[in-house]
């Protein structure tokens, strides 16, 4: 099973880009989504580019990610059809594990990035979600184009997906999780065990 890839998620968290086949938003909705991503991206890039120690960067990024990314919503999506068959206790445990795994994947790679900047492009709409296009610039690397998807299920704009390197973060992760559970007899408990082992290894390596 491919558990959350650090490189994929960091790029997803830093970069933002375009989707095809989507229709234009009304100006006000487009402005709101663009302003949200501009603010979130500017704060994130400022932390990444700062000269402070990595531990301090992680401390600063954590509340920013928790506020601006719908981690629980992404987690439910990633569990797919198995969310319905999971017990209430398994759901609660899974979301707690997913939250830690996602945040770790984002924060662990921060030290690899300096001199980052980005530009925001047009905004398009798919259903109830807005897609903000942007290009990430990193020193000595080609520009990275990705799509930052904004949802409003919690009554405020939050990032619900990022499409980059030709793939949707949440769809790719859902496919990975579903395949893993299916190979293990449809048991959600096996996924919880695998996620817990991943976190245990992470904690051992950082202590």
Q: Is residue 5 part of a domain?
A: no
d(CA 54, CA 199): 19
Best CA proximity match to 125, nearest among 151, 146, 145:
151
pLDDT for residue 22 is more than 70? no
156 within a domain of the structure (yes/no) = yes
Q: How many domains does the chain have?
A: 1
Q: Report the range out of 18-27, 45-54, 106-115, 184-193 with the highest average pLDDT.
A: 184-193
What does the pLDDT average to over 124-144?
A: 86
| DSSP 8-state secondary structure symbol assigned to residue 194 | H
Query: Does 10 fall in a domain?
Result: no
pLDDT of 76 reads 96
Q: What is the mean pLDDT of the chain?
A: 82
- Domain extent, residue 43, equals 26-201
Residue 9 lies in a domain: no
Does the global pTM surpass 0.75? yes
Asked, for residue 19, whether it belongs to a domain, the answer is no
User: Which pLDDT score, from 0 to 100, does residue 175 have?
Assistant: 95
Q: Has residue 21 been placed in a domain?
A: no
What CATH number is attached to the domain comprising 197? 3.10.450.710
- Whether residue 190 is contained in a domain is answered as yes
Among 12-21, 47-56, 75-84, 89-98, name the one with the lowest average pLDDT.
Answer: 12-21
């Amino acid at each position: 099973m491919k558990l959350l890839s650090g490189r994929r998620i960091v790029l997803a968290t830093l970069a933002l880009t375009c989707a095809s086949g989507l229709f234009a938003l009304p100006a006000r909705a487009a402005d709101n989504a663009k302003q949200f991503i501009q603010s979130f991206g500017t704060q994130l890039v400022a932390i990444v580019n700062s000269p402070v120690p990595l531990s301090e960067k992680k401390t600063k990024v954590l509340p920013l990610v928790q506020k601006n990314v719908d981690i629980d919503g992404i987690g439910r999506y990633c569990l797919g059809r198995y969310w319905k068959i999971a017990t209430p206790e398994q759901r609660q445990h899974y979301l707690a594990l997913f939250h830690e795994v996602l945040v770790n994947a984002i924060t662990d790679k921060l030290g690899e990035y300096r001199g980052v900047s980005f530009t925001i492009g047009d905004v398009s709409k798919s259903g109830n979600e807005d897609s903000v296009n942007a290009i990430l610039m990193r020193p000595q690397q080609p520009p990275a184009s990705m799509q930052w998807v904004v949802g409003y299920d919690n009554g405020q704009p939050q990032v619900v997906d990022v499409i980059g390197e030709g793939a949707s973060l949440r769809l790719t992760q859902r496919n990975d999780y579903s395949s893993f559970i299916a190979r293990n007899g449809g048991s959600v408990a096996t996924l919880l065990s695998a996620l817990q082992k991943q976190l245990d290894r992470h904690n051992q390596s950082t202590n």
